[in-house]
Amino acid sequence: MRHIILASHGDFSKGLKHSVQMIVGSMADQLQTYSLYPSHTPKDYMEEMNGVIQENPEDEYIFLCDIEGGSVHSTLSMLCQYPNVLVFAGTNMNLVLDLLLSTPEPLIHNTEVQNRLLATGKNGLSLTDQKRIQKKSDEEDF
């Protein structure tokens, strides 16, 4: 079984799940969320997940964290001591949708699929400004 956990500072993870749900409907129900608030520490959640992972060594645990090097990402990365855990950082909607819609195969030890997911997340970023719009318009004129 695959467990996908969106993990973030504040309510970003909950908002991301809600946005994904608008596109994929009930398929988003398989997403779990973890939100770090000022009065909490990610270490408590990591310890809770530590026990869950030990009890279910055949399951995949995929954590999608908001920011690389942040306290949530740094702490949850310690769970990578287990071979059935992956921790992504810098998550976005493209990555979550690809994981839900296009990735039925196991991710653990599947470097090709892991790299595709990383590329999906990175390629989901773009920038639009007046200069880029004009350049695109000029290219379309030819």
* Interior angle at CA 112, CA 20 and CA 77, nearest 5: 65
CATH number at residue 33: 3.40.50.510
Q: What gap in Å lies between CA 129 and CA 131, rounded to an integer?
A: 6
Instruction: Report CA 94 to chain centroid distance, whole Å.
Output: 9
Instruction: Report CA 122 to chain centroid distance, whole Å.
Output: 12
Q: Please, which residues bridge with residue 63 across strands?
A: 5, 87
Type of residue at 67: I
Task: Specify the pLDDT at position 140.
Answer: 79
pTM confidence score: 0.90
In 3D space, the residue among 56, 72, 61, 54 whose CA is nearest the CA of residue 30 turns out to be 61
CA distances from 101 to 9, 17, 23, 25, 27 (A): 25, 14, 11, 12, 9
Radius of gyration of the chain (CA): 17
List the pLDDT tens digit at each of the 142 positions of the chain.
999 999 999 999 999 999 999 999 999 999 999 999 999 999 999 999 999 999 999 999 999 999 999 999 999 999 999 999 999 999 999 999 999 998 888 898 999 999 999 999 999 999 999 988 888 877 877 6
Q: Are 79 and 49 in contact (CB under 8 A)?
A: yes
Q: Please, which residues bridge with residue 6 across strands?
A: 33, 64
Q: What is the pLDDT of residues 39-80, one digit of tens each?
A: 999 999 999 999 999 999 999 999 999 999 999 999 999 999
For residue 99, what is the DSSP state? H
Q: What gap in Å lies between CA 80 and CA 71, rounded to an integer?
A: 15
Give the chain's domain count.
1
Q: Which range of residues forms the domain containing residue 16?
A: 2-141
